[in-house]
Amino acid sequence: MRVLVVEDERRLAAAVKRGLEASGFAIDLAHDGVTGLHMAREGSYDGVVLDIMLPGMSGYKVCEALRAESNWVPILFLTAKDGEYDQADGLDLGADDYLTKPFSYVVLAARLRALLRRGAAPRPAILRAGDLSLDPASRVAHRGAEPVTLTAREFSLLEYLMRHAGSVVSKSELLTHVWDEADDIADLNVVEVYVGYLRRKIDVPFGRHAVQTVRGAGYLLAADGG
């Protein structure tokens, strides 16, 4: 399995290359963000190990650019930035894993193997259905350029529907995944109520029909945004 390692500290990069090659990986190296982005775009890599603090372009920007191009190559951040917000930012931008320095080569190789088993399935950081978009990290939704103000429950409902866009989702499934089991008022009727709230915010003002009722089955969010 061929992996791209983007690391500006050349001695560390060489050590990572040796360590991963000893675990059976084929490794290519890049020492700045611009070169790393170019190689990730042009090469058929099974995974990318990416530092954050890189010359030319940060690892955050490299990851963001790849995901914006629908390049779903598995990305593992390997960095000295160990703050919880640093890790959250990296994962929210579309990275698949985050490992801080100093690190164990055994753990790095194991995490890479786990990522490669999952493959390069689409994992967008921002969910889209036509001109309807939702950012789970910033908790912001838009219809085109227009922001849509949602309550926390409405946001969770829309997020679940968008993650299953184009597929029918039953009321009971929505109740299970969006409502707290400890909430005594949570029953199938409350799902209908909140779907109505959602329609009045993302559909009615825009003359759209994204949230569709499938009689006897549940609801479907149109993949084209209605």
Write out pLDDT tens, residues 152-173. 889 989 998 998 899 999 998 8
**Cβ proximity of 222 and 165 under 8 Å:** yes
**Cβ proximity of 48 and 73 under 8 Å:** yes
In the predicted structure, residue 184 carries a pLDDT above the cut 60 = no
CB atoms within 10 A of CB 191: 22
The CA-atom distances, in angstroms, between 65 and each of 58, 101, 129, 202 are 11, 24, 20, 28
The boundaries of the domain holding residue 135 are 127-221
Residues 95 and 23 grouped into a single domain: yes
The mean pLDDT of the chain is 90
Residues 103 and 65 grouped into a single domain: yes
Q: Position 19: which residue type?
A: G
- Tell me, what's the pLDDT at 180? 66
141's enclosing H/E stretch is strand 140-143
- Tell me, what's the pLDDT at 1? 83
- Tell me, what's the pLDDT at 93? 87
pTM for the structure as a whole: 0.69
Is beta strand 218-221 parallel, antiparallel or unpaired with respect to 211-214? antiparallel
Q: Is residue 216 situated within a structural domain? A: yes
Backbone φ, ψ for residue 224 (5° rounding):
-95, 10
- Tell me, what's the pLDDT at 219? 95
Residues 6 and 114 grouped into a single domain: yes
Q: Which of 65, 97, 118 is the last residue of a domain?
A: 118
| Per-residue pLDDT reduced to its tens digit, 110-150 | 999 998 888 777 777 788 899 999 988 788 999 999 999 99
- Tell me, what's the pLDDT at 49? 96
| Per-residue pLDDT reduced to its tens digit, 6-23 | 999 999 999 999 999 998
Under 8 Å CB-to-CB from 185, ≥6 apart: which residues?
Answer: none
**Cβ proximity of 49 and 76 under 8 Å:** yes
Q: Which of 118, 137, 152 is the last residue of a domain?
A: 118
Residues 57 and 101 grouped into a single domain: yes
